[in-house]
Amino acid sequence: MTTTQTTATPATQKLGIATTLALIFLLFSGLIFSAEDVVQGSTVRIMYVHVPSIWVAYLAFALTAICSAVYLSNRSRSLIWDRFAGAAAEIGVLFVAVSLVTGSLWGRLTWGTFWVWDARLTSTAFLFITYVGYLAVRRLGGTFRQRARRSAVMALLAVLEIPLVHFSVNLWRTLHQKASIADPNAKVKLDGFMLFTLFWGLISFTMLFVWLLIHRQRLMALEDAVQDQGLDLAIQQRRTEAGR
Amino acid sequence: METVVELSGVVAVLSSFPALAGIDLAVQRGEIVLLHGPNGAGKTSVLRVCAGLLPIERGEGSVMGVNLRTQRESVRERVGLLGHSNGLYLELTVAQNVAFWASAVGASSQEVALAMQQMKIDGRLADIKASQLSAGQRRRCALASLMVRRASLWLLDEPHAGLDTAGQDEFDAILRTAVNSGATVIFASHETQRSRSLATRVIRVEGGLISGGES
Amino acid sequence: MTSRMQTARRVSVAVARKDLRIEWNSKVLLNQVAPFSLVIMIMFAFALDNEGILQRVAPGLLWLATLFSMLVIVQRSFAVETADGALDALRVAGTEPVGIFIGKSLALMVQLFALELMLLAIALVLYTVEPTAMGYAETFATMAVATIGLGFVGTLYGGLGAGARGRETLLPLLLLPAVAPVLIGATRATEAAFGSGGAQSSEGWPWIGLLAVFAGVFGAVGALAFGPMIEE
């Protein structure tokens, strides 16, 4: 092929530029423009990455579940749903990891330890492990349709598993802090600009997610196409064995 | 005549290797079709596609009117497949193996007794664990387990392998009886001398395609 | 529809009897898995090295040992299916996957329950646990309900590993997170039954309820999802 293959289109290029600008603004807004917290000081700035990360992770895993369900219920069994499910899960695993790391850094600064066996932390760790398992199942090999069916079933099982784990962990540990914005005990008072920065983070991370998702899906489509072309070639070769 | 198996342009893939490269095959009821050809030609894959085990990647196929693309699971109860492996539980005795397959498909104890008698694995052999059998005895046990299935399409991969001459004769007789009562047989084999005399049609498979046939 | 249900019932009975007969003939559970879980229980004592702590955490150790042993039993349960292509033969035989699922789950439950009884006896002796009569009743109830859930979920994920080589190593990664609710629920319920750390026996019943929900959910979903799991 002579032309350079790219997964970008004019639309995603514009989205990419917008996302970059939004993230640069978040950087300034979060690190410089926004005020320190009265109690937590600069530590509070971790929140501008931490909260959007876990938001993107939830968004991604929800999308994985929806796409898997659509794949299984759709008669045509279009592989695009499988690719969106897989792409979303990969990005979700990345962002849940970011939120775990930023969360434990924040915990070190605030609570003095990297980890506490709090219900939310524990079930988030399980969320991470569950989708690492899902990604491993996606790589088991086989044909596209085998991969798609197997991983769609796994994704739906994960949807089932997560509330069960979450519920039991919650029953187990219900004594720690609630969500910061809602809970006055967490001693974070967000002023207007801090709140704006947080929402700006949510928006720009969501843009980043959409941008990554589209590119990853297109890349997967190209990978599948390469394998498909490889199959055409392999069939040709196979036929020459028969002398035709 | 009633067409039992119809494959047209079937491509089947093992991981990413096209085991079948667009195969066309039509088998009528009552035929005994021999598939022969070199190792890796795709004979086993033809059988597995017909049994509804291996999905069709491209092309169309049907077995006994059941579409292999959309409902390959529902063809299975009417076919009997004997693959390379025997499908036995090695820690069970011969009698327990045959009895399990009989109870899984709802066959009666008379049918079990008859199958074991015909394959000569009743008596002393019946209480021996499958892991302690010789290759030929295991094959007999697998064939007896297959007989209780009462399949209308028999798919056999090297059915004679490991059997002694007497066993091969017995097995051929059983196959002919099944065909006379309305069954169809497709089998893959190298041993063309015996196989040719058993078959009503011989087809050569090569490179995932039918490369020649004779009636 | 009813004939499919009859088929499924017939298959499940046949598969469960077959799996238990294989165990009866081979005695792998008795000769290999049971000693393995005994070793785990002893190793816990080495690692913790304090009788007070052992007594306090005995319920957790009991269930951890159960889960580790379960991994071995599940792998074994599907190894016998794939050793000589029997699973392929089962699929071709037109047996309802639901029947295979329920049959293999039942056999797994029976084996797990036997193992748990043994582990309970070991805990009584080695970890000096002394439940009351009510505590025993609660312990057996916990074991029964937890075992049903474990049987279903173990069979469901075990089926995924049965398809091809190189998948056995995936089983612990998929199965252990899925059974975390059982570990939490069964441990808390058993703590209540044993009175570990001053727990009241009435505290156990809500956890048994959680275990029942788990068993019900995975029984229903496993019946649906097992078929696609064992397909190629």
Q: How far is A165 from chain C (nearest CA, A)?
A: 5
In this prediction, residue C164 carries a pLDDT of 57
Could you tell me if C130 lies within 8 Å of chain B, comparing CB atoms? no
Q: Do A239 and B13 touch (CB under 8 A)?
A: no
For chain B positions 72-131, those within 8 Å of chain C (CB to CB) are 73, 76-81, 83-93, 96, 100-101, 103-106, 129-130
Residue A180 lies in a domain: no
Q: Do A241 and B206 touch (CB under 8 A)?
A: yes
Q: Do A164 and C181 touch (CB under 8 A)?
A: yes
Cross-chain CB nearest to A140 (options C156, C167, C180): C167
pLDDT tens digits, residue range C185-229? 999 999 999 988 777 888 888 899 999 999 999 999 999 889 888
The yes-or-no verdict on residue A187 having pLDDT over 60 is no
Q: Do C177 and A137 touch (CB under 8 A)?
A: no
In this prediction, residue A243 carries a pLDDT of 64
Cross-chain CB nearest to C94 (options B76, B86, B145): B76
In this prediction, residue C60 carries a pLDDT of 94
For chain C positions 138-157, those within 8 Å of chain A (CB to CB) are 156
Residue A183 lies in a domain: no
Give the nearest chain C residue to A168 (CA atoms).
C181
* ipTM score for this prediction: 0.87
**C-alpha span between B167 and B39 (Å, rounded):** 24
Residue A42 lies in a domain: yes
Of C18, C210, C40, the C-alpha closest to C99 is C18
Cross-chain CB nearest to B76 (options C25, C84, C91): C91
Q: Do B79 and C91 touch (CB under 8 A)?
A: no
Q: Do C170 and A140 touch (CB under 8 A)?
A: yes
Cβ-Cβ contacts under 8 Å, B149 against chain C: 93
Count structural domains, chain C.
1
Q: Do B15 and A239 touch (CB under 8 A)?
A: no
Residue A3 lies in a domain: no
Residues 6+ apart with CB under 8 A from C229: A150, A153, C156, C159, C160
Cβ-Cβ contacts under 8 Å, B69 against chain A: none
In this prediction, residue A116 carries a pLDDT of 83
Q: Do C90 and B76 touch (CB under 8 A)?
A: no
Give the nearest chain A residue to B18 (CA atoms).
A235
Mean pLDDT, chain C, as a whole number? 90
Strands laid side by side in the B209-214 sheet: B79-82, B153-157, B184-188, B32-36, B201-206, B209-214
Query: Which subunits sit against C, judged by 3+ Cβ pairs under 8 A?
Result: A, B
- Domains of chain B by residue range: 3-214
pLDDT tens digits, residue range A31-59? 888 877 777 778 888 889 999 999 999 99
The yes-or-no verdict on residue A188 having pLDDT over 80 is no
Q: How confident is the model at residue B120 (pLDDT cuts 50, 70, 90)?
A: confident
Handedness of CA B167, B173, B175, B181 (dihedral sign): negative
The yes-or-no verdict on residue C137 having pLDDT over 60 is yes
Residue A237 lies in a domain: no
Could you tell me if A18 lies within 8 Å of chain C, comparing CB atoms? no
Residue A182 lies in a domain: no
The yes-or-no verdict on residue B101 having pLDDT over 60 is yes
Could you tell me if C178 lies within 8 Å of chain B, comparing CB atoms? no
**C-alpha span between C185 and C213 (Å, rounded):** 11
Q: Do C84 and B84 touch (CB under 8 A)?
A: no
Residue A62 lies in a domain: yes
Q: Of the spans B119-128, B185-194, C16-25, which averages the highest pLDDT?
A: C16-25
Mutate to test the interface with C, among A68, A164, A165, A174 (most CBs of C within 10 A): A164
Q: How far is C137 from chain B (nearest CA, A)?
A: 37
Could you tell me if B148 lies within 8 Å of chain C, comparing CB atoms? no
**C-alpha span between A129 and A138 (Å, rounded):** 14
Q: What does the CA dihedral C137, C140, C144, C147 come to, rounded to 10 degrees?
A: 150
Instruction: Give the residue carrying structure tokens 């050793």.
Output: C83
Count structural domains, chain A.
1
pLDDT tens digits, residue range A55-105? 999 999 999 999 999 998 877 778 899 999 999 999 999 999 999 999 999
Cβ-Cβ contacts under 8 Å, A241 against chain B: 41, 206-208
In this prediction, residue A147 carries a pLDDT of 85
C-alpha dist (Å) from residue C64 to A86, C101, C186: 32, 24, 10
Mean pLDDT, chain A, as a whole number? 85
Q: How far is C161 from chain B (nearest CA, A)?
A: 16
Q: Which domain holds residue C137?
A: 2-230
Of C159, C82, C166, B16, the C-alpha closest to A150 is C159
User: Which one is the CATH code of B3-214: 3.90.1720.10, 3.40.1190.20, 3.40.50.300, 3.10.20.30?
Assistant: 3.40.50.300
Q: Do A133 and C174 touch (CB under 8 A)?
A: yes
Q: Residue B26 has what DSSP assignment?
A: E
Could you tell me if B12 lies within 8 Å of chain C, comparing CB atoms? no
Cross-chain CB nearest to A242 (options B15, B16, B209): B209
Q: Which domain holds residue A72?
A: 14-174+198-232
Q: Do A153 and C229 touch (CB under 8 A)?
A: yes
**C-alpha span between C43 and C35 (Å, rounded):** 12
- Under 8 Å between Cβ of B127 and B94: yes
**C-alpha span between C72 and C115 (Å, rounded):** 12
